[in-house]
Structure 1
Amino acid sequence: MSSSWSSGRRPITIAILAMGGEGGGVLADWIVAVGQKAGWYAQNTSVAGVAQRTGATVYYVELYPPSLAPAGESARQQPVLSLFPTPGEVDVVIASELMEAGRAVQRGFATPDRTTLIASTNRVYSMDERLALGDGRADSAALLSAAEAGAKRLVSADFMALATTAGSVISASLFGALAGSAALPFPRPEFEAAIRASGKGVDASLRAFAAGYDAATAPPPAPASRGNGPVALTLQPRRPVDPVEAAAQAEERRRRQIAATDPGSLVGPGLQAHARRVADHFPVPARDMLLHGCVRTAVYQDIDYTDRYLQRVSRLAAIELDPAGEARLTVEAARHVALWMTYQDTIHVAHQKIRSKRIAGVRDEAGAKKGQIVDVREYLHPQVEEITDTLPTAMGRRLSRSKMFRRIVTRATRNGIVVNTTGTIGFSMLWVMARFRPMRPRSYRFAREQEALDTWIDRAVRVGRDDPELAREVIECQRVLKGYGATHEHGRESFALLMAAVDTLASGPGRARAAAEIQRLREAALADEDGTALRAALAQVAPGALAAVA
C-alpha cells in the first residue's frame, strides 16, 4: 500500500504543461534549483508537444528529500526518479492556459485525491477552435468547472495578464503561484533566490512572481448574507476573464453609450451625415453596430456604398418587432449586411495586408523594439476564381470559362506565392492591387454579390411581415458565407440549401416552428465544411429543399 511523499516513500511529482515561448523549461529549471539548494534530489525532463497549438510540451519534475533516502552500506543512496508523469501519480500540475488544464484532467494527470492544479484562466485557442466554421470556442466556464472537479485543490487566476502587467512571461507568475500554493515545502525566499540566480530579467520576473504569489494566497471572497439569518449558497465556478475579450467588451460598452448620445464622434468627418441618419432613424441598441458598418463599408468601397448599406438595413428595421427594446433583428441586420457587403476579394485582401495598423500589430505581437527590422511574408495561393472575379465583368466571365487560362494559372501558382509585404517589390504589388478599388463595382463578382444580397434581404422582409423571428434567422444565415476560394464555395452551397429550407418551411404546415428549425439547420451547416450534417438535417425537416437546390 503506497503512502504519500511526506512519509518518504515517494517523491514530489510536478507536471508543467506550457506552450512554446511561455518559459515552461525555465519554470522547470527554477523548481529544480529550489530543490537542489535545499539538498533534495531533483530531476526534470520534457516531452515536446505538437506544433500549431494542438498540444503543449510537458515538463516533468521529481523532487526527493535526501534525509529520507534509504541508509546502509548495501542500500542505494540515490533514488531512481521517473522520466515521465504517470496518470494518477502527479502531486502538482501547472497549466499555462485553461484548455491545457482541461487536458491535464482528461489525461489523468490531475486527480481529485492528490493533485494541486495551478491553472491560468487565459485562453490560446486551439486549431480545432479556430478552424470551426462557426464559433468553435470551448466554454471557458465548463473548462474551469472540470478543472475544479478534477483536482484536489484548484489555484486559478489570469497569470498571463499578471505577467504581462509586470513586463515578464507567464512562467514567472506561475512560479509565484506554486510558491503561494504551499504545495512544496520550501519558503518564499528560496523561490525568489532561484529567480535571482538565473540572472535574466530578474526585476520583471520578481514582479510577476509576487503577483502570482498574491493571487494564490488571496483569501476567497466572503459569502453573501441576507438579514441576520444564515443563507444557503450554491457556489458556481467563476468564469475566467480573457483580458483581450474583457477590454473588447469594455470598449463595446463605451461605444454603445457614445452611439446613443453622440454617434458622430465615432466616425470620420466624411460620415457625419450617415451618423445623424443612424441617430434619427434606427433603434438605439443597433446604432453602435450600424456605425461600425458605416465605417467598414466606406473603407471597403466609398460613401455611396455606405448609403446603400443603410438603405438595406432600413428595410429590415422597418419590420422590427421590438424597436424600443433589444431590436435584435436590426442589430443582426446591421452586422450581417455589412459583413456580406464587404466580402473578401483580392482587392480587399491586398488593402488589409498593407494597412499600417496591421503592420504595427505584427510588430507588437513579435515584440519588436524601435529600430528593429521586421519582415512580414505572405504565403498566398491564388485560385482562378479569385483572379477572374476581380476582372471587369466581360473579361472575367470569358476567362473563367477558358480551360487554357485555368491551366496557366494552376501551373503558375501550384506551389503558392511568397510576397514580402515589408519589401519594396512586395509592398508595391499589394499597393497596386489595392488601388483597383474604384474598379470593383465593374468587376465580375460585384454584380453577382449585390444581386444575391438583395434577394436575401427580399426574402427576409417577405417572411418577416408574418414572423420577425424567422426574418432574423434568415439574416443570421449569412454566417455560413466565409472566406474565399473553396471555403466560400462550400458556404454558398450551404446558404442556398438554407434559403430553400426557409421557402419550404415558411409556406408549409410547420410555419410556427420555422425559425427554430432554421436555427438548427444553420448550426448543422456550421458543423462541417462539406455540408454533410446540413443535408442529413434537411432530409428530416425539409426534404423539399434538397430537391429544389438539386
Structure 2
Amino acid sequence: MNDKHPITLLVCALGGEGGGVLTEWLVETARLAGYAAQATSIPGVAQRTGATTYYLEVFPVPLAELGGRKPVFSLSPVPGALDALVSSELLETARQIGNGMTAPDRTRVLSSTARLLTTHERMQMGDGRTDPAELLKLVQAFSREHQVFDMNAVARECGTVVSSVLLGAIAGCGLLPFERRFYEEAVRGGVPHEKANASAVASLRGFARAFELVAQQRQQAAFVSKVLEEKALDSRLRGNDGKATAGKDPVIPAEAGIQGFPEPVREMYALGYARLVEYQDRAYANLYTKRLQSVLDAEREADPAGANAFAITREMARWLALWMAFDDIVRVADLKSRATRWERVRGEVKPLQDDLLKVYDHFKPGVPEFAALLPTSLAQRLVKWDRRRIASGREPWAMPLKVGTHTAGGMLALRTLAGLKWLRVRGSRFALEQQMIGRWLEGVLQGTRRSWALGHEIALCGRLIKGYGSTNERGKENLLHVLDHLAVLPEAATATRAIADARAAALADDAGRALDATLLQHGAPAREVKPQPIRFIRKPAASRTAA
C-alpha cells in the first residue's frame, strides 16, 4: 500500500446482519493498534431488505510515526478507488461492481456466495433466480484478488452472525496492517478471553474460522501462481475442453438398474431414486426407474449416437421424480416432525442452556387434503358436499389446527399422520396424479419418436408442475392443454416451437393471459374460463347505522 494514501474499504451488509457492529469493530481495532481510521454509513435498499454500505478509511502509518500530523479522510467511496469490497451477499457484491466501485487492477473482493432472493426473483413462475455462475464471473473479472465462500454457512456452523465472519475474512486477507490480537480484543470488548460473554465467544469462533479459510485460500492461490510461473502450464492440463475434471462420483442406489443408464443421466437418476424411496418405498422408486427406462429407450431410437447427451432422459429424471413425490398432508407431517428440522430450529433460535424452546405449527387442512387420502368414490362425495357449501355463499370447509411440536402429544400426532404412507397409495389424489403423470409420459414418448426436439420440449414442460393448491392445479391444467392441442400439431417442428412458446408464456404470467395469447397464436383454443362463485357479504349492523 502507498503510505501516503489511506486504505479504502467498502462493507456491504443487508438489514439485520450486523454491518454497523462490524464497522465499530474495525474502528476499535484500528484504535487498539494505534492507527487513524474513519467510518461512515450510507443507508439504502436492495429489493429484499434494508442494505447499508459502510465506508472505512485507515491510514497505513501508525499515529506514533506521524509526528502529530493527522490524515484527512473522505466521507464517501470513490468508484474505482477501493482497495477492498466486502459483502455478505453475492448479488449485493455484483450490484456494487455494477456501480463501478471496483477496479480490476486494484480492488480485492471478499464475498459470501449466500443469496437472499429479490422480490423480482420470487415473483417468477419459473426459476427466476439469477445465475450465480454469472455473478461469480463478474467478481473474477473486476477484482485484482478475490476470496469467495459461503459466509452464512460458516456463521451457522459457529453459532454466530455473519458480521463476525466478515471481520475474520478482512483480517485473514491481510488488507489492514493490524495484528490478529487487536481484532480479537475489539470483539471481546477489551475484557480478557476467559471473561468474555457467550455472544463474544461465538463471534470469536466465527472470526477464527473465516480467518483460517481466507488465509488458506490465499496460500493456495500463491502456491498455484508460483507453480504456473515456474512450469508455464498451459490449458491442456485442464482437459481438451478447458474445464476441470469432475469431482466425486454421484451417489448411486444399490439397484443394478443404474448401470443401464448413460453417464449424463446417472447423477440425476440417483437423486430421484433416493427421493422416492424416502417419499414412499422401493417399489415406488422402481416404478420411477421403469418409467425413466421407457424414456431412455425412446431417446436411443431418436438419437442412436447420443449426440444430445441424453438430455430428454436427464430432464425427465428431474421432473418425473419431483412430480411423483408430490406434496400432501402426509409429506408435510413427515417433514415437520423430523429430528433434523428440530435441530435446524434450535440452530436458528440459539436457545441458552436454561431457555425453554416451544415450537407451534399451524395447519389448516381442508376438504381437498382429507379427500386425497380417501378412495375415489368417498372423495368425490366429500368434494361435492364442499362445492355445495361454496355455491351457497359459504367459505370452503377447513380445520384450523395449532400443534405443539415440542410436546409429546403434538409430535405423536404428526408422526402418526406421517406414517400413513400406506393410505396415500390407496387415496384418490395418488390415483389422479399417476393418471396425469402417465399422460405426460406418453406425450414425451410419442413426441420423442416423432422428433428428438419435440420430445425434449414436452419433457421440459414438467417445469409447469410446481407448488401446491390452486397453483399446482393450474400447472397441471396448462400441461394437459399443451399436450391436447399443441403436441398433436401435424408438423413436428411447428409443434416444437409452439410448445416452447407456450411453456415460456405459462411460466412468465401466472394469470394465464400470456399463455392464452400464445395458444391462439399457434392455432390452439384458449383455456376454458372457470366460473367463480359470487359471494355477497352483509354489512355489519354497526356499519349500516353509521352510514
Q: TM-score, normalised by structure 2?
A: 0.73
SS in 2 for 1:104: helix
Residue range with higher mean Cα deviation, 384-393 or 176-185: 176-185
Give 2:222's match in structure 1, choosing from 188, 212, 219: 219
Q: Is the 8 A contact 2:268 2:314 kept in 1?
A: yes
SS in 1 for 2:11: strand
* Aligned counterpart, 2:542: none
Alpha-carbon distance between aligned partners in 2 of 1:193 and 1:524, rounded to the nearest angstrom: 57
Residue range with higher mean Cα deviation, 341-350 or 85-94: 85-94
Task: Please say if 1:29 is aligned against 2:27.
Answer: no
Alpha-carbon distance between aligned partners in 2 of 1:409 and 1:346, rounded to the nearest angstrom: 21
Alpha-carbon distance between aligned partners in 2 of 1:222 and 1:115, rounded to the nearest angstrom: 18
Q: CA deviation at 1:458?
A: 2.0
Residue range with higher mean Cα deviation, 479-488 or 14-23: 14-23
* Aligned counterpart, 2:526: 546
* Aligned counterpart, 1:155: 146
Task: Please say if 1:467 is aligned against 2:451.
Answer: yes
SS in 2 for 1:93: strand
Query: CA, structure 1 residues 227+423, in 2 after alignment: closer, same or farther (shift >3 Å)?
Result: closer
Q: Is the 8 A contact 1:168 1:204 kept in 2?
A: yes
Give 1:328's match in structure 2, choosing from 304, 307, 311: 311
* Aligned counterpart, 1:378: 361
Q: CA deviation at 1:488?
A: 1.0
Q: Is the 8 A contact 1:46 1:58 kept in 2?
A: yes
Q: How many residues align?
A: 502
* Aligned counterpart, 2:404: 420
Alpha-carbon distance between aligned partners in 2 of 1:476 and 1:167, rounded to the nearest angstrom: 41
Task: Please say if 1:400 is aligned against 2:383.
Answer: yes
Task: Please say if 1:175 is aligned against 2:155.
Answer: no
Alpha-carbon distance between aligned partners in 1 of 2:102 and 2:229, rounded to the nearest angstrom: 36
SS in 2 for 1:529: coil
Deviations, residues 462-520 of structure 1 (Å, cap 9, x unaligned): 22222234223322311210111122133123323432454244x13xx2364455345
Q: Is the 8 A contact 1:118 1:156 kept in 2?
A: yes
* Aligned counterpart, 1:120: 111
SS in 1 for 2:53: strand
Give 1:530's match in structure 2, choosing from 511, 522, 532: 511
* Aligned counterpart, 1:271: none
Q: CA deviation at 1:33?
A: 1.0
Q: Is the 8 A contact 2:172 2:212 kept in 1?
A: no
Residue range with higher mean Cα deviation, 212-221 or 351-360: 212-221
Alpha-carbon distance between aligned partners in 1 of 2:429 and 2:154, rounded to the nearest angstrom: 48
Q: CA deviation at 1:436?
A: 3.6
Q: CA deviation at 1:357?
A: 3.9
Task: Supply the AA of the counterpart residue of 1:33.
Answer: E
Q: CA deviation at 1:32?
A: 0.5
* Aligned counterpart, 2:36: 40
Query: CA, structure 1 residues 229+429, in 2 after alignment: closer, same or farther (shift >3 Å)?
Result: closer
Alpha-carbon distance between aligned partners in 2 of 1:491 and 1:183, rounded to the nearest angstrom: 52
Alpha-carbon distance between aligned partners in 2 of 1:113 and 1:297, rounded to the nearest angstrom: 47
Question: Structure 2: which 5+ runs fail to align?
Answer: 191-195, 237-241, 531-547
Query: CA, structure 1 residues 123+380, in 2 after alignment: closer, same or farther (shift >3 Å)?
Result: same
Q: Is the 8 A contact 1:378 1:419 kept in 2?
A: yes
Superposition CA RMSD, Å: 4.8
* Aligned counterpart, 2:136: 144
Give 1:16's match in structure 2, choosing from 11, 16, 19: 11
Task: Supply the AA of the counterpart residue of 1:157.
Answer: V
Query: CA, structure 1 residues 5+473, in 2 after alignment: closer, same or farther (shift >3 Å)?
Result: same
Task: Please say if 1:498 is aligned against 2:482.
Answer: yes
Alpha-carbon distance between aligned partners in 2 of 1:63 and 1:333, rounded to the nearest angstrom: 56
Alpha-carbon distance between aligned partners in 1 of 2:427 and 2:30, rounded to the nearest angstrom: 68
Task: Please say if 1:451 is aligned against 2:435.
Answer: yes
Q: CA deviation at 1:16?
A: 1.6
Deviations, residues 290-327 of structure 1 (Å, cap 9, x unaligned): 45444444443445544543443343233132578544
Task: Please say if 1:300 is aligned against 2:279.
Answer: yes
SS in 2 for 1:543: coil
Query: CA, structure 1 residues 7+305, in 2 after alignment: closer, same or farther (shift >3 Å)?
Result: closer
Query: CA, structure 1 residues 54+226, in 2 after alignment: closer, same or farther (shift >3 Å)?
Result: same
Alpha-carbon distance between aligned partners in 2 of 1:549 and 1:409, rounded to the nearest angstrom: 21
Alpha-carbon distance between aligned partners in 2 of 1:16 and 1:105, rounded to the nearest angstrom: 13
**Overall identity of the aligned pairs, in %:** 32
Q: Is the 8 A contact 2:12 2:86 kept in 1?
A: yes
* Aligned counterpart, 1:359: 342
* Aligned counterpart, 1:134: 126
In the TM superposition, 1:222-371 aligns within 5 A as: 222=225, 253-255=249-251, 259=252, 263-264=253-254, 275-276=255-256, 278-279=257-258, 282-283=261-262, 286-287=265-266, 289-302=268-281, 304-321=283-300, 325=306, 326-364=309-347
Query: CA, structure 1 residues 467+366, in 2 after alignment: closer, same or farther (shift >3 Å)?
Result: farther
Deviations, residues 354-380 of structure 1 (Å, cap 9, x unaligned): 233443444455567999764444344
Query: CA, structure 1 residues 437+203, in 2 after alignment: closer, same or farther (shift >3 Å)?
Result: closer
Query: CA, structure 1 residues 231+476, in 2 after alignment: closer, same or farther (shift >3 Å)?
Result: closer
Q: Is the 8 A contact 2:80 2:103 kept in 1?
A: no
Alpha-carbon distance between aligned partners in 2 of 1:169 and 1:342, rounded to the nearest angstrom: 35
SS in 1 for 2:511: coil
Deviations, residues 343-398 of structure 1 (Å, cap 9, x unaligned): 11222222222233443444455567999764444344545534443444233323
Question: Structure 1: which 5+ runs fail to align?
Answer: 234-238, 265-274
Q: CA deviation at 1:457?
A: 1.8
Q: TM-score, normalised by structure 1?
A: 0.72
* Aligned counterpart, 1:267: none
Q: CA deviation at 1:423?
A: 2.7
* Aligned counterpart, 1:268: none
Task: Supply the AA of the counterpart residue of 2:107.
Answer: T
Q: Is the 8 A contact 1:168 1:208 kept in 2?
A: no
Task: Supply the AA of the counterpart residue of 1:333.
Answer: M
Alpha-carbon distance between aligned partners in 2 of 1:250 and 1:417, rounded to the nearest angstrom: 46
